[in-house]
Amino acid sequence: MVAENLQDTTTLHNGVKMPWFGLGVFKVEEGPELVNAVKTAIKHGYRSIDTAAIYENEAGVGLGIREGMKEAGISREDLFVTSKVWNADLGYESTKKAFETSLNKLGLEYLDLYLIHWPVEGKYKESWKALEELYKEGRVKAIGVSNFQIHHLEDLMEDADIKPMVNQVEYHPRLTQKELQAFCKEQGIQLEAWSPLMQGQLLDNEVLQEIGKKYNKTVAQVILRWDLQNGVVTIPKSTKEHRIVENASIFDFELTKEDMELIDSLNQNHRVGPDPDNFDF
């Protein structure tokens, strides 16, 4: 089933419902622009907000959430909020502490999804134990990972009591991650895309422009629709109201099988972000 509206959800393997579409806030600094972006997204029907400790903007996200909920007349249960533990805080005790810090900054009593941000060798298993406990205590509704390759997932699951519910990775038409997606599907792990628009680098791609003309849609809308039709949760980042609205206007058309395959064929295994097998932070 492909999402039919902005508030449609996928059901994670523990039964928690996660919106297919959300707002990312990577590199959006604390301040009115950030608060406004979150409020604007909620006003226009977004129900999922994704942040991380390393973005240093959890306080602003929290403020935007509170103001946005008030204005939209919705409750905390209507929203799906994600944050992530940073590499410097990996380890059992330090992850638990980092979680409390994130909650306090956000001003929330629980998170909907908490992720290990990067697979730092020798450290993520201890962190996973902490995530499992936070999950069992009901402090977080779902737990997962980010930037994990197949071998990282296999390694983690060897000792885990609970399988990750989500794996958030760089995913766009130049990096289609087919093997990883197939593995996650097989394991019941929901794949989620960060940088779905390749940080804007695909917006002048001629193949995508042609497809866009056919449906009277922008390149961004075509890519985000491709995400959803591939069964991938997506969280494009924007701070501008018209773009926040435009990004979400993807539920009134469907890409043909041929167009889906044409977009798949743009793959070059090309990353704009760090390589999860070779990073040093």
Segment (H or E) for 48: strand 48-50
Distance of alpha carbon 33 from its chain centroid, rounded?
A: 20
User: Rounded to the nearest 5 degrees, what angle is found at the Cα of 188, between the Cα atoms of 187 and 191?
Assistant: 100
Both structure tokens of 74: 């919705």
Catalytic residues: 55
**Residue 43: alpha-carbon gap to chain centroid:** 20
- The residue among 112, 113, 122 whose CA lies nearest residue 156 is 122
Amino acid symbol at 167: N
Asked if 211 and 259 count as a contact pair (C-beta separation under 8 A), the reply is yes
Q: Where are the alpha helices (DSSP H) in the chain?
A: 32-43, 58-72, 92-106, 124-136, 150-159, 178-187, 206-215, 219-229, 241-248, 257-264
Give the span between the Cα atoms of 198 and 182, in whole angstroms.
Answer: 21
Pairing of strands 17-19, 23-24: unpaired
Return the DSSP state at 12: P
φ, ψ at 250 (rounded to 5°)? -130, 15
Q: Coil, strand, or helix at residue 18?
A: strand
